[in-house]
Amino acid sequence: MADLVRRQVDVIVVTGTRETIAAKQATSSIPIVTFLHPDLIGAGLAQSLARPGGNLTGLTTLDTDLYGKRLEILKQAVPNLTKAGVLVSGRQPSYGRGSPWEQALRAAAHSLKIELEITEADESNLESVLDSLAARGQQGLIVTSDGIYVAQAKVLAERTIKHRLPAMFVYRQQVQDGGLMAYAARTPDLSRRAAFFVDRIIRGAKPADLPIEQPTHFELIINLKTAKVLGLDLPATLLAQADEVIE
């Protein structure tokens, strides 16, 4: 980011949380467009959706608001689910302990009669954390949004299958790599829409005057092959909800 500032670029386009924070720390004058941040307002990166203020605008994924829905979908896949693990990255501040995200997720879990175990994991201890969760009798897994879990998608898929641990992910790629399910806003839609903001800024608009947009379409991806390996007979009503079923 410091190098981009030195080059005096016209716009900086960023994806996730760490990139957005780094850009904001690097410059308060060069326009920034972000499109994969889960909660720009909660992170203090924008004043409001309608009037972002400052030099940043773009799109939010609304990811922090989706975990109750993800847990609900996982419960449909595993009707006897009463204990679930949740993987969070220590590098992702949006999913901190005691945060509004955790409070909302625990409230959703309580209504579904599911006991949660929230555990930090990264590339250094991912396999051992999954082994421990399985040893403690977890019946399902929620994997939060973080680049490390995309990079380690195949490891996550292999380990969850080994422990017969049905898992809900965020990104399509994680399901393509063998994960059971994913539910989120469509990343290609968000990235294409980001070009609209870049165009407006190049034409003279100020980021502070361009409202932050929220996704309008969310997709459910199911890997039926993984479901069969896990011994899950997914209900027809759940499969009917899926935007894509990988066989």
125, pLDDT greater than 90: yes
Contacts of 233 (CB under 8 A, 6+ apart): 227
Give dist(CA 154, CA 40) in Å, integer.
29
Query: Where does residue 14 rank: exposed (0-12), middle (13-18), buried (19+ CB within 10 A)?
Result: buried
pLDDT digits (tens, 9 = 90+) for 43-76: 899 999 999 999 999 999 999 999 999 999 999 9
Average pLDDT over residues 128-138: 97
**What confidence tier does 92 reach under pLDDT thresholds 50, 70, 90?**
confident
Provide the pLDDT for residue 101.
94
CA distances in angstroms from 98 to 82, 104, 105, 178, listed in the order given: 22, 10, 11, 31
Q: What is the mean pLDDT of the chain?
A: 96
Average pLDDT over residues 148-153: 95
- Scanning the chain, the segments in alpha helix (DSSP H) are 2-6, 17-26, 67-77, 100-111, 126-135, 147-151, 153-162, 172-176, 187-202, 224-229, 236-241
96, pLDDT greater than 90: no
3-state helix, strand, coil in the chain (%, to 5): 45, 20, 40
154, pLDDT greater than 90: yes
93, pLDDT greater than 90: no
Provide the pLDDT for residue 240.
97
Average pLDDT over residues 178-191: 96
Average pLDDT over residues 185-190: 94
> What token pair was written down for 201?
């800024």
**Share above pLDDT 90 across residues of the chain, in percent, rounded to a whole number:** 93
> What token pair was written down for 52?
């972002």
pLDDT digits (tens, 9 = 90+) for 12-50: 999 988 899 999 999 999 999 999 999 999 889 999 999
Give dist(CA 54, CA 206) in Å, integer.
9
pLDDT digits (tens, 9 = 90+) for 166-183: 999 999 999 999 999 999
pLDDT digits (tens, 9 = 90+) for 213-222: 999 899 999 9
The whole model's pTM is what?
A: 0.92
- Scanning 37-124, the segments in alpha helix (DSSP H) are 67-77, 100-111
Strand 83-88 to 115-120 pairing: parallel
Nearest CA to 95 out of 182, 116, 103, 156 is that of: 103
Provide the pLDDT for residue 224.
97
* 3-state SS assignment for residue 214: coil
